[in-house]
Amino acid sequence: MQRNAFKMQLKPGYEAEYKKRHDEIWPELAEELGKAGVSDYSIFLDEETLTLFAMQKLADDNTADELPETAIVKKWWAYMADIMDTNPDNSPVCIPLQEVFHQD
Q: Return the active site residues.
A: 22
Inter-residue contact 6 to 44 (CB < 8 Å): no
Can you say whether residue 77 is alpha, beta or left, with left for phi > 0 and alpha for psi between -120 and 50 degrees? alpha
Inter-residue contact 62 to 37 (CB < 8 Å): yes
Three-state SS at 91: coil
Q: Rg of the Cα trace of the chain?
A: 14
Q: How far is the C-alpha of 42 from the C-alpha of 13, rounded, in Å?
A: 21
